[in-house]
């Protein structure tokens, strides 16, 4: 099974992807964690460009194509072989982030995104997607705490304004309403353990 975890910054995706993979392993399943953009040498190089290139920042179309190039490489070299080998793959972001950020956020046409994403993924779609939804104020507080702890500055995409982030959330929720069989919306407020439990229940797995 191919599971993706989606949502805006600070909703807790990375924390929960790790917990879900451990839980799948404890239940006897072989599981692999990947992140987007990233997960292969090429995709990690592209990730650096996407997050940190300030001197010649990618225009919206170049940004889209870079995310898709990273995804094509990850799907072909890591995700499809792992699924073929019987593993469960859990991805920290995947195609819904492209529709949310480059579509609803940047305003690129959704019909073009669908065709281009399908080409990049060679037809692969997640079996299940968990959308972690949280009030922007809660997410911002988590990001502030993390920044204070790690002394890391915000990346290029995090610096987009509040309007952009409001459009993202609306876009994610709209996609969930349009794909109720695949996307479950999970409340990401509360403790890490509470959110982990909600995610596990939402997946309705046998063990
Ligand atoms: N992007 C795109 O535009 N198009 C695409 O197609 C794709 C991606 C695939 C990737 O950034 C960027 O690429 C992202 C979207 C864009 N843009 N931005 N901005 P990234 O991978 O570096 O970061 P991110 O995906 O945005 O995630 P994040 O900022 O690292 O946050 P997170 O993964 O959702 O949360 P976290 O790291 O698990 O937790 C954040 C902090 O909160 C951390 O200190 C935790 O310890 C804490 N935390 C987590 N859960 C809780 C709870 N429940 N309570 C309290 N504190 C918590």
Measured from the CB, is residue 150 less than 6 Å from ligand 1?
A: no
Pocket test for ligand 1, best of 101, 130, 159, 189 (most atoms within 8 A of CB): 101
Report the candidate in 96, 49, 105, 42 with the shortest Cα–Cα distance to residue 74.
42
User: What is the residue with the minimal CA distance to atom 48 of ligand 1?
Assistant: 12
Q: How far lies 141's CA from each of 19, 44, 146, in Å?
A: 22, 27, 9
Pocket test for ligand 1, best of 7, 13, 162 (most atoms within 8 A of CB): 13
Q: What is the pLDDT of residue 151?
A: 84
- Chunked into runs of 10 residues, the chain (207 residues) has average pLDDT values of 96 97 97 98 97 93 98 98 98 98 97 98 98 92 88 78 89 98 97 98 88
Residue with tokens 């509360």: 190
* 3-state SS class at 187: strand
- CB-based contact 58:81 (threshold 8 Å): no
CA distance 71 to 74: 5
Q: What is the pLDDT of residue 136?
A: 86
CA distance 202 to 191: 17
Q: What is the pLDDT of residue 80?
A: 98
List the structure tokens of 87.
Answer: 């593993």
Q: What is the pLDDT of residue 161?
A: 79
Q: What is the pLDDT of residue 206?
A: 77
Residue 171: enclosing H or E segment and its boundaries? helix 162-178
All structural domains of the chain: 2-203 (3.40.50.300)
First vs last C-alpha separation in the chain: 14
Length, in residues, of the chain: 207
Q: What is the pLDDT of residue 35?
A: 98
Q: What is the pLDDT of residue 137?
A: 87
CA distance 179 to 175: 6
């Amino acid at each position: 099974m191919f599971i993706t975890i989606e949502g805006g910054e600070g909703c807790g995706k990375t924390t929960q992807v790790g917990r879900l993979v451990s839980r799948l392993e404890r239940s006897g399943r072989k599981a692999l964690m990947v992140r987007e953009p990233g997960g292969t040498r090429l995709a990690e190089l592209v990730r650096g460009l996407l997050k940190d290139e300030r001197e010649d920042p990618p225009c919206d179309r170049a940004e889209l194509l870079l995310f898709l190039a990273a995804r094509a490489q990850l799907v072909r070299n890591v995700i499809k072989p792992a699924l073929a080998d019987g593993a469960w793959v859990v991805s920290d972001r995947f195609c819904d982030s492209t529709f949310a950020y480059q579509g609803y956020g940047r305003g690129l046409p959704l019909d073009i995104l669908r065709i281009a994403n399908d080409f990049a993924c060679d037809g692969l779609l997640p079996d299940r997607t968990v959308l972690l939804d949280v009030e922007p104020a809660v997410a911002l507080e988590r990001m502030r705490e993390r920044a204070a702890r790690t002394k890391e500055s915000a990346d290029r995409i995090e610096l987009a304004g509040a309007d952009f982030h409001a459009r993202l959330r609306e876009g994610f929720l709209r996609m969930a309403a349009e794909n109720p069989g695949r996307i479950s919306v999970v409340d990401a407020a509360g403790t890490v353990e509470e959110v982990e439990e909600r995610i596990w229940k939402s997946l309705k797995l046998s063990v």
